Amino acid sequence: MTYWGCKIVYLLGRKNDYGIVMIELCIELPTYLKCYENQEELQPYFSLPRVMDGLFNLVNMLFGINLEPADGLAPVWNHDVRFYLVNDSSLIPIAYFYFDPYSHPFEKSGGAWMGGVVGRSRILSRDGANARLTVVHIVCNQMPPVGDKPSLMTFHEVENVYHEFGLALQHMVTKQDEVLVEVFGMDVYHEAILSQLRKMN
């Protein structure tokens, strides 16, 4: 294995504070991966459950947000779709999101995307006193797990999940109670400008 491969495996295999490892991965790993040719060797380190656990831990560490499964609380369009409750640091619900991770040929197009289901709104809430909470969906096209083996991701797919979750996070953490002036009401070009600038470097 090359120097870059050893460095990547070292970073991915570390067992200390997971939050610190994730920060190192975010800073260092993209550079190493550009120098590493055989990315298939890295896929065992990027199982979908491990990537999502790392993402949820990172979001908790950075923003104090807790994400917990809420399967059964809302209807889903496929048995693979997961539904999550998003709580703030006081464990008060602030949003929900659907996660549809796997490819379903003939049912959805390729790629990864996020979208809003409903935006936060006090006017459109049932009682008018408490705001209706934001619901978003994040859709990916991972290869489904085979047997008891988890779905394995390329680094590009990991980047896509983090990117789409970052866009969804803008909607989920808003405290603006009127959907037309919060992120859902923004022009898509304004919403995505920072992520597009990041891709240019």
Whether the model pTM is above 0.85: no
Domain assignment present for 84: yes
CA nearest to 131, candidates 96, 89, 166: 96
Domain count, the chain: 2
**Residue 2 shares a structural domain with residue 83:** no
Mean pLDDT, rounded, for 4-32: 56
Angle, CA of 187, 188 and 191, to the nearest 5°: 95
Domain assignment present for 56: no
**Could you say which of 40, 159, 164, 191 is catalytic?**
164
Count of residues in the chain: 201
Q: Is 170 helix (H, G, I), strand (E, B) or coil?
A: helix
pLDDT for residue 120 is more than 60: yes
The percentage of the chain sitting over the pLDDT mark of 70, rounded to a whole number, equals: 68
| Cβ atoms 120, 133 nearer than 8 A | yes
Is 164 labeled as catalytic in the residue annotation? yes
d(CA 141, CA 164): 12
Token couple for 190: 């304004």
Burial of 166 (C-beta count, 10 Å sphere; 0-12/13-18/19+):
middle
Token couple for 9: 């495996």
- Tens of pLDDT, residue by residue over 30-75, are 666 655 667 777 788 889 999 999 999 988 988 899 999 998 899 9
Domain assignment present for 162: yes
Token couple for 199: 């891709």
**Residue 29 shares a structural domain with residue 76:** no
**Residue 157 shares a structural domain with residue 192:** yes
165 Cβ partners below 8 Å, 6+ apart? 55, 59, 114, 138
- Tens of pLDDT, residue by residue over 82-99, are 999 999 999 999 999 999
